[in-house]
């Protein structure tokens, strides 16, 4: 798992037959600048971009969030409020998991390298390349 720069994302998109659009670069840059522990929904991302003078349609945001999640650039999270949220997929040693309170919806991030190692080992053993490994604990 690598940290994504616009150049790395452009190269991977090109390899898959897609191109780096200004919207994709804007979305990547926005997630790279989000405060630690913050998880954005598509709607929140749309609102943030509007406020920054970068209006991107909600449908374009949804398509790109899905694409960037499949590529392993973003993590798609199903947190307590039942809405999908996203964050940049950080490589080790910044990789983390989430503990979610089912009463107040508070989300606590925590690290556990053994979860990541087990996921990487299983993927490798099965002939796959690990894109993401996440543990969600609802408590």
Annotated binding site for Fe cation: 95
Binding-site residue set: 95, 101, 104
| Tokens representing residue 58 in the block | 């909600």
User: Which among 93, 65, 133, 90 is positioned nearest to 4, based on CA atoms?
Assistant: 90
Binding-site residue set for Zn(2+): 101, 104
């Amino acid at each position: 798992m690598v940290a994504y720069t616009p150049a790395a994302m452009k190269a991977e998109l090109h390899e898959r037959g897609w191109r780096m659009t200004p919207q994709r670069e804007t979305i990547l840059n926005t997630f790279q600048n989000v405060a630690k522990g913050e998880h954005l929904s598509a709607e929140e991302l749309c609102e943030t971009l509007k406020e920054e003078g970068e209006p991107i349609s909600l449908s374009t945001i949804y398509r790109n969030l899905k694409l960037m999640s499949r590529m392993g650039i973003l993590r798609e999270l199903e947190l307590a409020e039942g809405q999908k949220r996203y964050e940049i997929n950080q490589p080790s040693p910044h990789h983390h998991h989430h503990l979610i309170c089912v009463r107040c919806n508070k989300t606590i991030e925590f690290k556990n390298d053994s979860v990541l190692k087990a996921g990487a080992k299983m993927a490798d053993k099965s002939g796959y390349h690990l894109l993401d490994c996440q543990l969600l604990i609802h408590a």
